[in-house]
Structure 1
Amino acid sequence: MHILLSSSSGQPIYQQIVQEIQGQILKGSLAPGQQLPSLRQLARDLKVSIITTKRAYEELEEAGFVQSIPGKGTFVARLNVDFLQEQERLKLDHYLQEATRSARKLGLNAKDLYPILQSLFEEEESSS
């Protein structure tokens, strides 16, 4: 499992771990039933505190993405990926509505936003 962390993102490390694992589950890179690294192993691999990985795994479990089985480990939950993808699309729709309102306040239109969005995608791709 490959997780990319950024100390300059302004986002807590545990949240970055959560987002990376959620993304891999939603894309199908991590399959239902697949075992995740142990808390200690992930902390060692990422060079972070075990408390950080514990918090990330707890958030993933609360959100239904993983299931922890005492004595066995943490596994990708058997969940409805279509439902989760739809939830993510709804969140994206909300963020885009907010961005559209902000753009209109600045006098920008869709043509003005396209290069900005393209640049953000390129930045994201180059950082991963």
Structure 2
Amino acid sequence: MKILISNKSDLPIYEQIKVQIKEQILSGNITENEFLPSIRQLAKELGISVITTTRAYSDLEAEGFIATIQGKGSVVLPKDNQMVKEQYLRRIEESFLSAIDDAKIANISNKELIEILENLMEE
């Protein structure tokens, strides 16, 4: 697992950690049932406070991406988890909205846009 912290980012450090772990889970770089580094280990590797990593892991757990097992650590939950599915749906909706906006600017009809989607789904 690779986490890069930027002091120039507008996001707080715990949010940067959360976003990067979430993206790695959604992309499959971190797989289901894989254990994340311990909170202390990650804090040490990143040179940050344990409180900061605790906040990131707590948020990921609240969003349904990981579960904490007492004495074992934090494990990635299966992607069929309803909370994770909601995250995928939100990303898809955002992508569709962006495509719709672009289509309006380019004067592309709804029918043409749907044809593009259908062609892409066939590939």
Corresponding residue to 1:86 among 82, 86, 89: 89
Residues 92 and 19 (structure 1 numbering): CA distance in 2 closer, same or farther, change over 3 Å? farther
Amino acid at match of 2:44: R
Distance between the aligned counterparts of 1:4 and 1:10, measured in 2?
14
Give secondary structure in 2 for the equivalent of 1:75: strand
Which residue of 1 is the match for residue 63 of structure 2? 63
Q: 1:34-87 deviations in whole A, cap 9, x for unaligned? A: 000000000001111000000000000000000100111000011327823222
Q: Which moved more, 1:73-82 or 1:22-31?
A: 73-82
Amino acid at match of 2:39: L
Distance between the aligned counterparts of 1:93 and 1:55, measured in 2?
31
Q: Note the C-alpha offset of 1:21.
A: 0.3
Which residue of 2 is the match for residue 26 of structure 1? 26
Q: How many residues align?
A: 101
Which residue of 2 is the match for residue 51 of structure 1? 51
Q: Which moved more, 1:57-66 or 1:78-87?
A: 78-87
Q: Note the C-alpha offset of 1:92.
A: 4.5
Q: Between Structure 1 and Structure 2, whose CA radius of gyration is higher?
A: 2
Which residue of 2 is the match for residue 11 of structure 1? 11
Unmatched segments (≥5 aa) in structure 2:
107-123
Q: Provide the aligned C-alpha RMSD in A.
A: 2.3
Residues 91 and 61 (structure 1 numbering): CA distance in 2 closer, same or farther, change over 3 Å? farther
State the identity as a percent. Answer: 40
Distance between the aligned counterparts of 1:31 and 1:58, measured in 2?
19
Pairing 1:96-115 to 2, within 5 Å after superposition: 96=98
Give secondary structure in 1 for the equivalent of 2:3: coil
Q: TM-score, normalised by structure 2?
A: 0.72
Q: TM-score, normalised by structure 1?
A: 0.70
Give secondary structure in 2 for the equivalent of 1:23: helix
